[in-house]
Amino acid sequence: MGVFMFFVFCSLMGSVATAEIKLDPDRPFLRVPFSGTADLKCCYKDGPQNFTWIKSNSSKVSKKNQMHTVIMSEDVIQSTTESEGKLCGILTLRNVKLSDTGLYQCSLNKEVQTHGTYLQVFSEYVGVRVHSPGQANQQCVCVYVCGVKLALGTAYTS
C-alpha cells in the first residue's frame, strides 16, 4: 500500500511540475527609425511570474545564434501587466540605435522562450553627392540612401 501511495504522489507531482505554458503569438516584426522608440511585448499564461528578456543579434546565417540577456538602463525599460491570468512583459527601447536590431524574446525558464519579435532599426538619412565620372563636362548626380548609391542621371556642364 505504501509503494502504491508513493507512486500516486509522484505522479501527481509530475503532472503539476509539467503544467503547459500557453504562449500568445508575439508580433513577428517591428521596424523603427533610428532614435525612435520600440515597444516589444510577450504574453503567456500558466508560466512563471519572473522572466528575462534575451536578444539574438546574429544578422548572418553563417553566425551562430548568440543569445544574451538584455541589460536594463535609462533607455531600456521592462514592465509587466497582468489580466485574466495572462502575464505580459513589455520591453521599451528608447533612442534606438542600429545595434539594437535583432530578435528579442522572453525567456521564461531554461527550456521555454516566447516566439520573439525581430526589431529592425533603420536610418532615414538621405544624402546627395555630385561627382565627375571622368569627363570634364559631365557630372553624375547620385543619391545615397542608407549608404547605397543610386545614380539619378547625368548633368552636362559647359
Domain annotation for the chain: domains and CATH numbers: 17-122 (2.60.40.10), 126-156 (no CATH)
- The predicted-structure confidence for 96-115, as pLDDT tens digits, reads as follows 999 999 999 999 988 899 99
Instruction: Pick the most confident of 2-6, 38-42, 111-115.
Output: 38-42
Rounded mean pLDDT of 35-39?
97
* pLDDT value at 131 more than 90: no
Query: Exposure pattern of 56-92 as b/e (b: 16+ CB <10 Å)?
Result: beeeeeeeeeeeeebeeeeebeeeeeeeeeebebebe
Within 24-154, residue ranges assigned H as helices are: none
* pLDDT value at 142 more than 70: no
